[in-house]
Amino acid sequence: MTLDGRLVVVTGAGRGLGLAIAHDLAEAGAHLVIAERNPQFAASAVEELAAHGVPVHRVDTDVSDPGSVQQLADRVAELGGAYGVVNNAALADGVGGKYFYDIEPDEFDRIMSVNLRGTWLVSKALYPQLRARGDGRILNIASDVAFYGPPRLMHYVASKGAIVAMTRARARDAGPDGITVNAIAPGITECEATQTVPAERHELYRINRALERPQQPEDLVGAVRFLLSDAAAYITGQTLLVDGGFVCR
């Protein structure tokens, strides 16, 4: 499952799961574009990833802003065009705690603008480059919350459920161009973004996983590499649950 010389864009790769994905793709030989909104996270990530000896480029990007996303696409085109994109950027820090009837419209819109709209905008902007290759890959990061619906998290759950639905629809649109569109759905993963998740939700996962140990970012990277590789060339429109068996279906 090598990706030698193929250019992959990873959004939200400045820390946590996105950074772990970028490290694994670099080990697989991919050339990388780190699309990250936080300049400090981006600079640190590029410094880390340079140790793999593959080209790593940084484009400071706000995925919810069409102009910023177009600048990303223009820069990627200058680098030779994308083979794949991992839509990882999302708002997850401290987004829970309210019942659906207490969420304000601006809170709902803020989550949707990044998690859902941002995923669509990045894929849309890079699509001409993927189409030009004829074998491109789009991989979306959903969440297992879309499959069990935890309370006091409705806007986030809705955004990730929409990612699953959008993955299926995009796969139909992209199939004639030879492009696959898939998603992975992690469980609670121990990283910066989940430090504010209530303790009871961590405990819920602990007692209900088939695999009892906590989930780490490294538990996701193999699935990402597989779905970006030639080994998954005939898989599209699918969402792969990677949560230690918390959701079994």
> What is the predicted pLDDT for the residue at 205?
80
Classify the C-alpha dihedral 102-106-111-113 as positive or negative.
Answer: positive
Radius of gyration of the chain (CA): 17
The 10 Å Cβ neighbour count of residue 119 is 28
Structure-block tokens of residue 147: 């499959």
pLDDT digits (tens, 9 = 90+) for 163-192: 999 999 999 999 999 999 999 999 887 766
Give all strands (DSSP E) within the chain, no chain letters. Answer: 7-11, 31-36, 56-60, 84-87, 137-141, 180-186, 239-242
pLDDT digits (tens, 9 = 90+) for 10-32: 999 999 999 999 999 999 999 99
| Percentage of residues of the chain with pLDDT beyond 70 | 96
> With contact defined as beta carbons under 8 Å apart, do 189 and 217 qualify?
yes
**CATH number of the 7-242 domain:** 3.40.50.720
- Catalytic choice (83, 127, 156, 205): 156
Query: 117-133 and 105-115 are packed helices; what angle lies between their axes, rounded to 10 degrees?
Result: 20
pLDDT tens readout for residues 33-81: 999 999 999 999 999 999 999 999 999 999 999 999 999 999 999 999 9
pLDDT at 2: 94
Told to judge if 156 belongs to the known catalytic residues of this protein, a careful annotator would answer yes
